[in-house]
Structure 1
Amino acid sequence: GAVPFFHIIGLNAVMLVAMFYDSTVYLFPDPRKYGSILKAIEKYGINYFHGVPTLLKALLKYPDFSKFDVSSLEFVFSGAAPLDPKLGMDFEAKTNALVVEAYGMTETSPMVAANPFERENHQFGSIGLPFPDTEFKIVDPATHEDLPLGEIGEIALKGPQIMQGYLNNPEETANSFWDGYLLTGDLAQIKDDGFVYIVNRKKDMIISSGYKVFPSELEQLAMDNFPEFEEVVVIGSYDEHRGETVKLIAVLKEGAQISKENIIDFFKNRIAVYKIPKIIEFVKNLPKTSIGKTDRKALQEKERSLSTPPI
């Protein structure tokens, strides 16, 4: 496992799973040493690997990836951040492992949904199907009323794996539950076949001129159409007239060049006006959390400090 045990995924999906199946755990204290991970997979015949999407992408990009024998891999579990469907398919093609995307949070111990461990019945871009004994529904973020299939709303959960509350924080606990259901803050929709698709974090959603903008939609569109991009993240930036305006922050691949005007023109021809990024910023790298996720919170806090609204 390349996820630390202090993280709920490392604790439950790596350590406890290994104990349950009487398996050996191989730990990678520094997941940035990609060669060491690939070497261990080859040397020890590792069957099950758990990581985050940024790590899977880095492994595939490792210069000597093709020199390692990773044929022992049977299952690769991806969590903690959305998995780009293309990345999932590429990883499967180059390893022959089944890549499974799942969903959960610390408050849910952590898993409440996952794709089936079946090649013919898992869907990239989806977090899969709700777990047994888990009440999983989509509610209106404002009224908490149940929404029909296909509509976008907030995920609400009830089940034996859901926390009782936050320790010594009754106010936050009360704000996080509604009629016994945990309000996750994640916006999603359930398709007719029962598969769940995350749309965005409610807190990450941008409100521009009263319209809702989902960063994940723009990020996926950018990654699918700009081969120059290594990474991209979309956040809101304070705007005196719109409330918030859309800002796109990108890391360019080595040697790649593209103008900010070309990026904006691309979006102008494909999405609604209020969704178009008005601000483009190129950076050398994006901040990461301890488990390798893009630290969106750090970017948002930095942006707020630079674009504080007048008092």
Structure 2
Amino acid sequence: MIYRSPLPDIEIPDVTLTELVLGTARESGDKIALVDGTTGDSLTYAELVEAAEAGAAGLHRAGVRPGDVVALMSHNQPAYAIALHAVIAAGATVTPINPVLTHREVTGQLTAAGAKVLIAANTVADKAVEVAAAAGVTRVFLLGGDDVSGAPSFETLLAEGGPAPDPDLDPATAVAVLPFSSGTTGTSKGVRLTHRNLVANLLQTRAGWPIGPDDVQAAVLPFFHIYGFTIILNSGLLGGATVVTLPRFEVGGYLAALARYRVTRAYFAPPMLLALARAPEIDELDLSSLRYVLCGAAPMDVEVTERLEKRLGCLIRQGYGMTEASPGTHQVFDAEFPATPTGSVGRLSPNTEARLVRPGTDTDVPPGEPGELLIRGPQVMAGYLGNPRATAETITDGWLHTGDMVRVDDDGLFWVVDRIKELIKYKGYQVAPAELESVLLTHPAVTDAAVVGVPHAEGGEAPRAYVVTTGPVDEGELMMFVAERVAPYKKVREVRFVDEIPKSPTGKILRRVLRDGA
């Protein structure tokens, strides 16, 4: 049984990501495209286009060519959009990087992606220079300010102006963005998203969420994450909205920005719901401009959501997607916000098909029963970078296996029931148990280890480690050992010592046994 969107299919133009997003930007002229919610610095649409074209020309002069990979490591700021679209307009591929990743993790991504250039925020200048040297990246440019650590400012690329080069690209096959995702297997892999994938998803999303010039979008969820990249930044620019950037989520500052800039559309991850539901500042601010609030990246708590809705005076609804789908596949359309129950991820976006199958099979489940969600559509990735086996395991006969158990109710609404895949979602970030297990096993006192996700008040889920040891070691030492080697959001929050790790006859860790026995 194949499920389809109630909305008609849309036409997908044969253009690049930047041609779509900034194609009509000059018409917006002096309208504010992006504003830094912390400093108030702003960028008009005309300035954005001019800077992106100048940046593309500068990158071309620096030796960047179609097919090259340029890494972009920064917090949310208006200059992020300039750098992003400069790289795309130069015909290169962007691999976005989380600035809080450790030196080892960043070096690994740069190496795996084959990055030729690194553009980084000047707040992480020292790290940028060090990881570039370790990964053999030939050039580093810094966003935001004067030269630091011997690396030139990105602004130096803009000095000679445009025009942008005219790369000969096929949008259907040329990779525009290369984010790294743990997918359904728990091992981080480069996700090859073509221009057509992203162009399709932006237009699919726009059909249900018609963002326009009167909208103001709050952008605290990071642009290096596909949610922030597509759904907030590029959807906002495509619609001619104003995007208010914030470098991090801090309750008071975030709410103040919503009020100050009269934000109409806000985007949450589940941990934000709980923090905002408790925030006294809500009662002191005028948030009446809010019309739509979308929550994504992980399932949201219905009771907390309904409590926050009453305080905000605005409905909060949920979407669904994954990096491998650019990311959006399901939406609660603007027109259906009031009629859609809290917790549903809505309906399929246009040009998107879905099946629900029994896990590990190609057998469709009967209507009403939960099954693994399979997705087919133009937004589905071209495949994993250099990993045909993982690609073949994830996409079969054109169907993307999401690893999530989903059901469809009698009204045709989709609901996420459970997760088949082993990934842990901490504050919306993917945490791969296999990565943490590998780190633990390098400790001289650890002979075996397993990591599972357990409920966490602030993060939704958090990693708990089960370890078998041969020597004296305590929980704190092991937690610190892991923390020194991974990004902060990946840290093990609890350690339990066991005599053995339960495994199947084939050696697969039986994580459910660990969770059920907790």
Name the SS for the 2:244 alignment partner. Answer: coil
Deviation at 1:9, TM superposition (A): 0.6
Structure 1 pair 116/178, CA: closer, same or farther in 2 (3 Å)? Answer: same
Q: TM-score, normalised by structure 2?
A: 0.41
Specify every segment of 5 or more residues in structure 1 that has no aligned partner in the other structure, as ranges.
206-214, 217-234, 236-243, 253-293
Alignment of 1:309 onto 2:501: yes
Aligned in 2, Cα 1:175/1:116: closer, same or farther, shift over 3 Å?
same
Counterpart for residue 323 of structure 2: 106
1:1-311 aligned within 5 A: 1-31=219-249, 33-117=250-334, 118-204=336-422, 251=457, 308-309=500-501
Q: Which runs of 4 or more aligned residues in structure 1 lie more than 6 Å from their structure 2 counterparts after TM superposition?
A: none
Normalization by structure 1: what TM-score? 0.67
Are the structure 2 counterparts of residues 151 and 11 from structure 1 closer, same or farther at C-alpha, using a change threshold of 3 Å?
same
* 8 Å contact kept, 1:116–1:122: no
**Cα separation, partners in 2 of 1:298 and 1:170, compared to 1, 3 Å:** farther
Q: SS at 2:266's partner residue?
A: strand
Is the CA contact (8 Å cut-off) linking 1:144 and 1:178 kept in structure 2? Answer: no
Q: Distance in 2 between matches of 1:58 and 1:194?
A: 32
- CA drift of 1:167 comes to 1.1
Q: Which amino acid aligns with 1:87?
A: V
Select the structure of larger CA radius of gyration.
2
Q: Distance in 2 between matches of 1:115 and 1:306?
A: 44
CA 62–157 in structure 1, closer or farther in 2 if over 3 Å, else same: same
The alpha-carbon distance between structure 1 residues 49 and 251, as it changes in their structure 2 partners (threshold 3 A), is: closer
SS of equivalent to 1:137: strand
- Please say if residues 222 and 228 of structure 2, whose CA atoms lie closer than 8 Å, have aligned partners that are also in contact: yes
Deviation at 1:192, TM superposition (A): 1.9
Query: What is the CA deviation profile of residues 115-171 of structure 1, one whole-angstrom value per residue up to 9, with x for unaligned ones?
Result: 232343212121111112111110111212112211111000100111121011111
**Cα gap change, 1:120/1:84 in structure 2, threshold over 3 Å: closer, same or farther?**
same
SS in 1 for 2:403: strand
Tell which has more relative contact order, 1 or 2 (C-alpha 8 A, sep 6+): 2
Q: CA 1:44/1:307 → structure 2, altered by over 3 Å: closer, same or farther?
A: farther
Residue 250 of structure 1 deviates from its aligned partner by: 5.5
Q: Give the counterpart letter for 2:321 in structure 1.
A: G
RMSD between aligned alpha carbons? 3.0
Give the letter aligned to residue 71 of structure 1.
S
Cα offsets for 1:262-302 (capped at 9, x unmatched)? xxxxxxxxxxxxxxxxxxxxxxxxxxxxxxxx96x7659x6
The answer as to whether partners of 2:315 and 2:338 remain within 8 angstroms in 1 is no
Secondary structure of 2:237's aligned partner: helix
The share of aligned pairs that are identical, in percent, is 35
Cα distance in 2 between the residues matched to 1:83 and 1:36 = 23
Question: Do the aligned residues in 1 keep the contact of 2:264 with 2:289 (CA within 8 Å)?
Answer: yes
Q: CA deviation at 1:248?
A: 6.0
